[in-house]
Structure 1
Amino acid sequence: MTMEADPGAMLDRARKYERQGRPEEAAAAFAEAAGRLEARGDRAAAGVRARQARALAAAGRAEEALGVLAAAEQAAPDGADVRAVLDGHAAHVLAAAGRAGEAARRAWAAMTAFRSLGDDRRADVAGAHAARLIVEDTGPRAAVDPLRDLLGRMPPDGEGHRRVARLLADAERRPDRDFDVLVTDPDGAGWGALAAALAVGAHLAVGNGVAWNTLGDRGARDDRALLERDWGVTDAAGWREQVRALLDAENSDPAVQMVLDRREPGMRPASWRAAIAGWCAERNVSEETTRRVIELSGLILRYEERFRADGLLGPDEPVRSVYGYDFGRAVNMARWGLGAGYCDADEAEKCVMTAGQRAHRVYGSWESFSAGYVLGRMLRFDEGEFGQWYARSVVGHRVLAEDPASPWRRMAWG
């Protein structure tokens, strides 16, 4: 038998594609392996077909995935081992199709079946997946009772128990809202360079009530709609152009950074205004534009004064750069691009790492980064009103600066 005809080799190739974030190729490889196994009459074929369905779902082809899953279940032989595998994969397919409640029940069933078979490792994985799906389906507060029930059915010394316990603890301490809250995925990056880079995008993650430490948080349809609605992005090329602009700090008004760059340490407001005017005069900037950017310096001073009162800046501490606003959004753009299918996991992670590295070069602390991020956001949306945009940004800063579970509290800057 050649290596290419060996179903085991095909499965290895399919799993490799999965790890690399290449679900389309993984689905094709799983389909090929399933066909070989079906030709042999191998009882494992149904599970591999379900794995194909799971890969299709990850590629954003949810309806096709549901069809493949249904066919696999219809053709599956009897047996608790086969049923456990099918339930486990079905949970992922149903979740991708937006049917989180059904997905949670299938994951719970997989946990029970694997436990009865003595496969504690896969039972723990399925149980933790069921817990995440319960939270997704009901919201954190309504998930407390079912999570307690689930936790009571898991061995207390297992990794699954620890993961579910963390989700339960998070649900129990959630405030009465699903936004402006810190969410940490127990299976996401917790430490290291990737986690530190993901934490650069934590402002938006907290604001949206999604996990800060994972790239695969949302469904493809939601992310495609978000990118088209908020960014005008409808394809991979448009997504990459937005990523480039964000990583190069070119998405925001360049006048803001120019104004900040004219301020030297200890410079008084009048001298700062004169420096801005001088810069404009050297470049023959129009009188109207010169007036506008000088006024911008006054607005920045107003925000800095309010930042100090609200704890975003220390006494006499200024904001040096607003590039953090672009870097923070770049992290989330990577998450949305991956969810929308505009990039693979490797490209998304590279974007995140680049954003983190550039933020660490510009700023010296989480606090200074946060102040720069918030100022950039305020100058785009709040325009000196100190309204809802400002209030929610301050809440996000305080959550990240004060919550003991925050990555900003648990990891040093840089």
Structure 2
Amino acid sequence: MSQRNLEALDVGAIREAFPILQREFNGEQLVYLDNAATTQTPDPVIDAMSDYYREYNANVHRGIHHLSQEASIAYEEAHDRVAEFIGANGGREEIVFTKNTTEAENLVAYAWGLNELGPGDEIVLTEMEHHASLVTWQQIGKRTGAEVKYIRIDDDGRLDMDHAADLITDDTAMVSAVHVSNTLGTVNPVSDLVDIAHDHDALAFIDGAQAVPNRPVDVEAIDADFYAFSGHKMAGPTGIGALYGKKAILEAMQPYLYGGDMITKVTYEESTWNDLPWKFEAGTPQIAEAVGLVAAIDYLEDIGMDRIEAHEQELARYAYDQLDAEPDVEIYGPEPGPDRGGLVGFNLEGVHAHDLASIMNDHAVAIRAGDHCTQPLHDKLGVAASARASFYVYNTKAEIDDLVAAIDNARQLFA
């Protein structure tokens, strides 16, 4: 990183753009540490969406009046902005807007998988996959007869890349892997996985839901065939995500949803499909949300994605060290470093994760507890649930101190 990128963020100034962080519960100020689920939304994003509804709210690609033209331009250019943000050189034709990462995974699984997979084919996932990937490809495997296999993780929560190299073979048709684990915080070597997949003529889908919000991502450098992420995890609105797909692959795929705007010509007997990316965006799309997503991208890039990554890693290291000093706290995932993202999953001995989260809520500390949509991974870890503290650009070390203090309160209650 350059010297500029190593400069500490002015977190105090950043927090001023997030009015929700000033809320108080039971006389205590909110400490929001559930960012891996959903980040908070800054004023510029809220203002951009409000401006859309106040000034040019209309349907896109439907009307010739001024409002529709303005909305259509904003919506189309949102695809361009997303493509630029993640390094998709093919531009808007390689960016499909979805509701979220889960829908993007399903789009590929149904539009590509149902047509291309069959008995004898293999789908390779990782043991740390989110249900968005695991359940989707599991069910596609059942429908098509393709076999689903899983790359092991080691005791530190990292992928066993030797096992990956053995598991991915010429029978492999798709490798789907999470870029950053939402439970372990592990940053996976996705470029290496993609290379292995391509060596065997398999496609690669990367789930970037926990990566795009907090680090620079270049899909061309990764060389993924598909890459997906969600707006609500990157200071943007809910209800919108993006699927990047290589143009040639998207062109060969059949639509996933049918209806208005994804067609070119319709008769009572036949229909033909619209150009990319519109053939995958049936019906009235998420126009306001697309405007908000662009505002979120602008906001994050003004801060600097490399600086956001450095800030999260600093917080993760601090939280890891503080929790690691507690003898009755078990932490999951690798030690802090380049291959760990900005979250810490843990359990307090003798206290169920749900009880721990409830006690923290009494002290206005918001964390996540449960299986985090990774039930098989929790089974492998030998725990029913875990607590998770996840950080973003507006969090501070003082808030991590509040987290540790709340853990101590729980410890005393259950002593």
Query: By the TM > 0.5 criterion, same fold?
Result: no
- Taking structure 1 as the reference length, the TM-score comes to 0.29
Structure with greater Cα Rg: 1
More strand by share: 2
More helix by share: 1
- Taking structure 2 as the reference length, the TM-score comes to 0.29
